[in-house]
Amino acid sequence: MTVETGGLVDQSKNNITTTVKHVNNRVRYGNKTEKKNRSYKKMRREVVFPRVPDVLQQLFVSCTQIFRGPGFVPPASDVNNLCDIIDKMKPEDVGLSKNLQFFKPTGAVNGTPRVTYTTIYQCDQFSLCIFFLPETAVIPLHNHPEMTVFSKLLLGKMHIKSYDWVEPKDSKPPSKLRLARLKANSVYTAPCNTSVLYPTTGGNIHQFTAVTPCAVLDVLGPPYSKEDDRDCSYYKDFPYSAFSNEGETTRVNEEEREGLGWLEEIEAPENAVMDRIDYLGPQIMENY
């Protein structure tokens, strides 16, 4: 789940080209504008970056003001303000459109569909990235250590399952299984409101499954970092009834059991591997 900074725009033969398509299990993503001047019987080509939408620039500026590092949870007023900005964002603000071929599959993808991601911006305090999921693709159950994450489904339909730990962070479960509380287990269809998860609440451990081809905008504060011990851990979940009384530290009544499950940490599964592509949409202005 580690994400890196994106790249630049390449030249194109068309005046305006916007593409996202599934080729050899990879997404080709771009937003290019090209000016042509036919004077002196020669064709002059110049690539022009799309103008940054106000809402995307506003998102960047707000993130620079809100995020303060690992474990920092923005106050409710800042969370609400950032949600208001992200709620307004449309696919076009990052160079996407529901008319792109990637979001109009012509048939089933051969083999295990791979997730692709691109990074709009990244620094030590936060990152802005987009994940592209072909139909039936899965981002497996994983956590977000010491992070606050804002997610916005830009396009498509997606099933989201998420958990929070029941035990305190410093507890020592007697087995490899840990009790967790189910926070979400529903299908979401774009456009929908921004969801927020926190370092220990809000569904910090979640899984995405694409019902249709999807694009998800994620704002992570701070981003993953192996050097800072914020690496991604993966889990397998089991229903509560599968391991009755396994490692329980508190008594659980019948009504509460329906919202509980057991999580086991596992090695990174095969479908955790992602393809990275350059971000070719509107470019954020860092010097504002």
CA distance 223 to 230: 8
CATH number, position 82: 2.60.120.10
DSSP 8-state symbol, 95: T
- Report if residue 143 sits inside a domain: yes
- Report if residue 223 sits inside a domain: yes
Answer whether 214's CB lies under 8 Å from 125's CB.
Answer: no
pLDDT (tens digit, 0 to 9) for every residue of the chain, 288 residues total?
A: 543 333 222 223 333 334 444 333 445 554 444 444 444 444 445 555 568 999 999 999 999 999 998 879 999 999 999 999 999 999 999 999 988 888 986 666 667 789 999 999 999 999 999 999 999 999 999 999 999 999 999 999 999 999 999 976 555 565 789 999 999 999 999 999 999 999 999 999 999 999 999 999 999 999 999 998 899 999 999 999 887 655 554 556 665 677 899 999 999 999 999 999 999 999 999 986
- Report if residue 6 sits inside a domain: no
- Report if residue 99 sits inside a domain: yes
Supply the range of the domain harboring residue 171.
54-276
For the chain, what is the domain count?
A: 1
- Report if residue 13 sits inside a domain: no
Q: What is the pLDDT of residue 12?
A: 32
DSSP 8-state symbol, 32: E
Q: Which of 52, 5, 12 lies closest to 281, judged by CA? A: 52
Q: Return the axis-axis angle of helices 76-88 and 54-66, rounded to nearest 10°.
A: 160
Task: List the structure tokens of 253.
Answer: 């009544």
Pairing of strands 26-37, 16-23: antiparallel
Q: What is the pLDDT of residue 221?
A: 97
Q: What is the pLDDT of residue 161?
A: 98
What confidence tens digit (pLDDT) does each residue in 48-105 have?
556 899 999 999 999 999 999 887 999 999 999 999 999 999 999 999 998 888 898 6
- Report if residue 213 sits inside a domain: yes
Q: What is the pLDDT of residue 22?
A: 38
Task: List the structure tokens of 80.
Answer: 């609400």
- Report if residue 65 sits inside a domain: yes
State whether residue 257 is helix, strand or coil. Answer: helix
- Report if residue 24 sits inside a domain: no
Q: Which of 238, 239, 270, 228 lies closest to 2, judged by CA? A: 228
